[in-house]
Structure 1
Amino acid sequence: MKTADPELMRAINRLNVLDTVRRHGPISRVEISGRTQLSTTTVSAITASLLDDGLILSRHLGDIRTEGARGRPRVMLELNPDAARVVGAKIAASRMVFVVTDFCGNVLSTLALPIRIDRQPIGVIADLIEDGVRRCVVDAGLSLEDVDMVCLGLPGVIEHRTGRIRSSPVLREVNIDFADEMTARFGTPTIIESDAHAVTLGHHWFGKARDLEDMVLISLEQTLGLGVLHRNDLFRGAGGLSHNLGDLVLVASPEGTVRLASQAGENAILGSRPADGRFAEAIRLGRGMQHAQTLVLAQDNDLIAAAERAGAAIGLTLANIVTLFAPPRVIIVGSSLELGAPFIDSIRDAYEASVPPSLQGVAELVFDKSSDELWAQGAAAVALYELYESPWNTTGPAL
């Protein structure tokens, strides 16, 4: 019988212990053993290494000098916030948001730049991102030499392992080795990640899925994204590929193929209404959904019909996703939620009508207007997770 690679098993166990300390610390070694199902001997060896590397700290609960206290104080373990610094970013068509965090994911500085980058040359976009990262790092009282990793979250189809952007609605070019470009600019390892994956991890670490090991997230913005979390880890395709939910086929017939984006994408919704001057300008500036919300509240029939049609398509898609994965929670985020009740109610109604009777009540639907900072903080969490998986020594991650 073939056994697992010992080095791989050690790395997996080490990550498991470190993530358990992150999620539940301060925590004792005995509690870590119970949560991870690792032996106390293994936990002791791993935590000793983590203490040597400065990734975790120990502190005592209780004090033998306190009257009435008995025995030794309990030794509790927690992450060392100063072990590393990372930058996370949400890069969208009309804005960029950056955060710097410590090793625990606590935000040290935030920078929001309302800059329209849609379809700019890749060199210009790289310049703007570089300026934003550097400014946010300075605002945190740091320099790039103090930053261990950068993660940029963009919409589109992205290979996590290589940093290649196969396609993105904010870029003119396709198949761009963006990670190599930005790593060279920063002199710091840089990850390129799907923004949907980033906000999924953001919700797992800081948001509506902190209590779960398994969940699904749907992002409804310029692209329709999908994030699947299984046993605390993101599910990715071949080469670490992200999932463009908008490419999902709803109908295939001799007359043509109907994909989800053509029914429920932002462009499909906003393009359904004859554009007056203000509406067209709002779309151009990336504020189409905010303006659409005002029109929906004013009973604009064209937009209400488009919102209901899009909601029905998304509700059907959610039912199919729940049929495949049966997650305990599906979190729906993104700017399309600005459409309000007609859109959200249509999603719920279509979902309830389409989900199999055997799965009724299995998945909780949560609609959350997640802040841009949470998306960026999720990108920082992607970087932190990479660091948690990395071999370390006393001078930092061996990347």
Structure 2
Amino acid sequence: MKTADPELMRAINRFNVLDTIRRHGPISRVEISERTELSTTTVSAITASLLDDGLILTRHEGDIRNAAARGRPRVMLELDPEAARVVGAKIAANRMVFAVTNFRGEVLSDLTLPIRVDRQPIAVIADLIEDGVRRCVVDADLSLDDIDSICIGLPGVVEHRTGHVRSSPIFRETDVDFASEMTSRLNVATIVESDAHAITLAHHWFGRARDLDDMVLVSLEQTLGLGVLHGGQLFRGAGGLSHNLGDLVLGVGESRTVRLSTLAGENAILGEHPMDGRFAEAVRLGRGMTHAQTLIAAEDDALIATASRAGEAIGLAVANIVTLFGPPRVVIVGSSLSLGTVFVESIRRSFQNAIPPSISTVAELVFDESADETWAQGAAVVALCELYESPWGTTGPAPAL
């Protein structure tokens, strides 16, 4: 029988202990042992190493100056917020959002740049991102020398492991090694991740899935994204590949393949309405969905029908996802939620009609209009997860292999 790699097991145990301290700290070693199901000896060894590396702090519960107090004060452990600082970014077609966080993921500064970047040359987009990162770092009273890692969240198909963006509506080019591009510019280790994965981790750490280790997130933005969390870890494909939910096939006809994006993508929804006047200007400025909600409220029958049809397609896709994974919760986020009640209720009805009766009560649907800053914070969480898994020493985090 083949035994597990001891180095891998040590790394996994170390991550579990550190993540348990993050989620439940201040926490005692005994409680860590109970929650992780690791022996007290293993927990003591790992926490001693984490203390040596400056990643956690001790806190005494009880008055150690009061000799009359019964029993010894409890030694509690918590993350050291100053152990590392990272930058997360959300890059959309019409805006860039940046956030600097500490080791706990708490935001130290954030910055939003309302600027149109879709289909610009790579060099132009990289210049804008570099400027945004530098400005946000300065706003946090830091310099780039104080930053341990950066994560850029993008729409599209991204290989997390290599940093290649296979395709994105932001870029003209395909198969772009964007992680190397930004790492060389900023001289800080830079990760590239799908924006759907970033917002998934944001909800796992701080949001609507904080109480869960298994969940699914569906993002309805310029692209349709999917995040699957299992055992507290993101599920990624080969090479760390992200999932483009918009490519999901809903039907095949004689002349064409019907994909989810052709029915429920932002361009498909907005493209059904005549592009003239205020609506055309709103779409150009990235406010098309918000203006569409205004038109729906004014009983624009054509747009109501389009929103309903898009909701039906998404509800069907979500039902298929729940049938495959059986998550306890599906969090649905993104700018398309601006379409309002007509859209959301259409998703709910379609989901209930499509889900098999045997699992109809398994998954809770939660709709959340997450702020842009939350997406950027989620990208920072991606960077923090990498640091949590990295070996550390007195000189800081070593590059993960």
TM-score category (smaller protein): over 0.9
Residue aligning to 2:298? 298
Residue aligning to 2:363? 363
Q: How big is each residue's C-alpha offset from its partner over 1:123-144, in whole Å with a ceiling of 9 and x where there is no partner?
A: 0000000000000000000000
Residue aligning to 2:82? 82
Residue aligning to 1:45? 45
Verify the 8 A CA contact 1:163 1:179 in the aligned structure 2.
yes
> How far apart are the structure 2 equivalents of 1:232 and 1:171?
31
Structure 1 alignment gaps of length 5 or more: none
Verify the 8 A CA contact 1:64 1:71 in the aligned structure 2.
no
Residue aligning to 1:256? 256
Describe the SS at the equivalent of 1:104: coil
Residue aligning to 2:107? 107
Residue aligning to 1:282? 282
> How far apart are the structure 2 equivalents of 1:138 and 1:200?
27
- Whether 2:261 is the aligned partner of 1:269: answer no
Describe the SS at the equivalent of 1:171: coil
CA displacement at 1:65 relative to structure 2: 3.6
CA displacement at 1:68 relative to structure 2: 5.8
Residue aligning to 1:131? 131
Describe the SS at the equivalent of 1:367: strand
Superposition pairs of residues 113-124 of structure 1, within 5 angstroms? 113-124=113-124
CA displacement at 1:306 relative to structure 2: 0.4
Residue aligning to 1:351? 351
Residue aligning to 1:388? 388
Verify the 8 A CA contact 1:54 1:80 in the aligned structure 2.
yes
The amino acid across from 2:295 in the alignment is: L
> How far apart are the structure 2 equivalents of 1:388 and 1:62?
30
Deviates more, 1:292-301 or 1:59-68: 59-68
- Whether 2:201 is the aligned partner of 1:201: answer yes
> How far apart are the structure 1 equivalents of 2:192 and 2:54?
27
CA displacement at 1:63 relative to structure 2: 1.8
> How far apart are the structure 2 equivalents of 1:21 and 1:301?
53
Residue aligning to 1:145? 145
CA displacement at 1:67 relative to structure 2: 7.3
Identical pairs, percent? 76
CA displacement at 1:363 relative to structure 2: 0.5
CA displacement at 1:392 relative to structure 2: 0.2
> How far apart are the structure 2 equivalents of 1:84 and 1:213?
24
> How far apart are the structure 2 equivalents of 1:68 and 1:311?
66
The amino acid across from 1:299 in the alignment is: E
> How far apart are the structure 2 equivalents of 1:345 and 1:67?
63
Runs of 4+ residues over 4 Å off in structure 1: none
> How far apart are the structure 2 equivalents of 1:114 and 1:99?
15
Query: In the superposition, relative to structure 1, how do residues 63 and 307 fare at CA in structure 2: closer, same or farther (>3 Å)?
Result: same
> How far apart are the structure 2 equivalents of 1:200 and 1:208?
10
- Whether 2:213 is the aligned partner of 1:219: answer no
> How far apart are the structure 2 equivalents of 1:227 and 1:262?
20
Describe the SS at the equivalent of 1:87: strand
Describe the SS at the equivalent of 1:88: strand
CA displacement at 1:66 relative to structure 2: 3.6
Describe the SS at the equivalent of 2:150: strand
Describe the SS at the equivalent of 2:369: coil
TM-score, length-scaled by structure 1? 0.99
Residue aligning to 1:98? 98
Residue aligning to 2:159? 159
CA displacement at 1:244 relative to structure 2: 0.2
Describe the SS at the equivalent of 1:279: helix
The amino acid across from 1:151 in the alignment is: C
The amino acid across from 2:360 in the alignment is: Q
CA displacement at 1:254 relative to structure 2: 2.3
CA displacement at 1:71 relative to structure 2: 1.2
Verify the 8 A CA contact 1:223 1:266 in the aligned structure 2.
yes
> How far apart are the structure 2 equivalents of 1:35 and 1:150?
30
Verify the 8 A CA contact 1:64 1:70 in the aligned structure 2.
no
> How far apart are the structure 1 equivalents of 2:285 and 2:370?
20
TM-score, length-scaled by structure 2? 0.99
Describe the SS at the equivalent of 2:362: coil
CA displacement at 1:278 relative to structure 2: 1.2
The amino acid across from 2:349 in the alignment is: D
> How far apart are the structure 2 equivalents of 1:50 and 1:209?
27
